[in-house]
Amino acid sequence: MDERDAAQPLRVSGLYVYPVKSLGGYAVEKSAVLPKGLAFDRRWMLVDEQHQFMTQRTNPRLALFRVEAAAGGFTVAYHDQRLHVPFEPAGDPLEARVWDDVVRVEEVGRMHSEWFSAMLGQHCRLVFFPEAHPRQVDRDYAPIGVHTSLSDGYPLLVIGQSSLDDLNSRLEEPVPMNRFRPSLAFTGGLPFEEDQWSRFRINEVELQGVKPCARCVMTTINQQTGEKGKEPLATLQQYRTRANKVLFGMNVLVSEEGNISIGDEIHLMP
């Protein structure tokens, strides 16, 4: 790897929260970083009648649900319909499945589930994953006792703006960062240098990069229209394939929690 220009510090350029797994998200100026990831990130999800998590991979229309921060919770909008979701739901407990994990969740409320069912034209429930409930990170990459939210597998996903710029230089039509749904984006550094990051610090927050993120068909879904195409996955396959997996971004664990803001400097640790 070429020597990075020391005059260009690594800085946080984007913080993104996706409260409901596989729905839209929103940018924040600052956030608490908790052991399971950014506060309020992927603590909710939709489940079908079998209590299986719902995803844009099989239902691209989920991208059309817009999510905004609101007092005491967040607002979900679908076309001209809006729904307020509280941060502190008090619904019935149930078990649900996220990939191979069975997690204990709580239904937010019958009214919320009925609203999503009506919007999607199928029975589903909106459920909440309490902070204290366990979901162990893959033990090949984390010790016992390290947990994540309802994310695909890790508390945080970090992507460099230089990496996106490199990809977009190869595409006929550039794609925005939201195709990759990172928790944290940063400026400075070389394309894909986050692949090599191990331990790094932002203020009092200590983080550990453990595994480049394998990407799937969800990156081909336009987050504004819900339409599915071939890019950017087709181009990434040409130069970012390792062991039959297409890599873009770094999966990260939280070693020490704290607070981070846009503009904060990122310090790589030995």
| Half-sphere exposure at residue 128, Cβ-oriented, CA atoms within 13 angstroms | 20
22-47, pLDDT tens digit by residue? 999 999 999 999 999 999 999 999 99
Look at residue 2 in the predicted model and tell me its pLDDT. 45
Question: Rounded distance, CA 39 to CA 37, Å?
Answer: 6
In which band, very low, low, confident or very high, does the pLDDT at 219 lie, cut at 50, 70 and 90? Answer: very high
User: Which of 219, 146, 230, 210 is CA-nearest to residue 182?
Assistant: 219
Check pLDDT > 90 for residue 4.
no
Min mean pLDDT across 1-10, 33-42, 58-67, 152-161 is at 1-10
Q: What mean pLDDT is reported for the chain?
A: 96
Whether this prediction's pTM lies above 0.85 is answered by yes
115-128, pLDDT tens digit by residue? 999 999 999 999 99
Check pLDDT > 60 for residue 6.
no
Contact 96, 105 (CB under 8 A): yes
Look at residue 237 in the predicted model and tell me its pLDDT. 98
Residue found under tokens 């400097």: 265
What's the CATH code, domain 11-269?
2.40.33.20
Q: What is the mean pLDDT of residues 198-219?
A: 98
Contact 88, 97 (CB under 8 A): no
Look at residue 7 in the predicted model and tell me its pLDDT. 59
Q: What is the mean pLDDT of residues 187-208?
A: 98
* Domain boundary assignment for the chain: 11-269
DSSP label at residue 19: S
In which band, very low, low, confident or very high, does the pLDDT at 8 lie, cut at 50, 70 and 90? Answer: confident
Q: What is the mean pLDDT of residues 72-88?
A: 96
140-160, pLDDT tens digit by residue? 999 999 999 999 999 999 999
Residue found under tokens 């596989």: 22
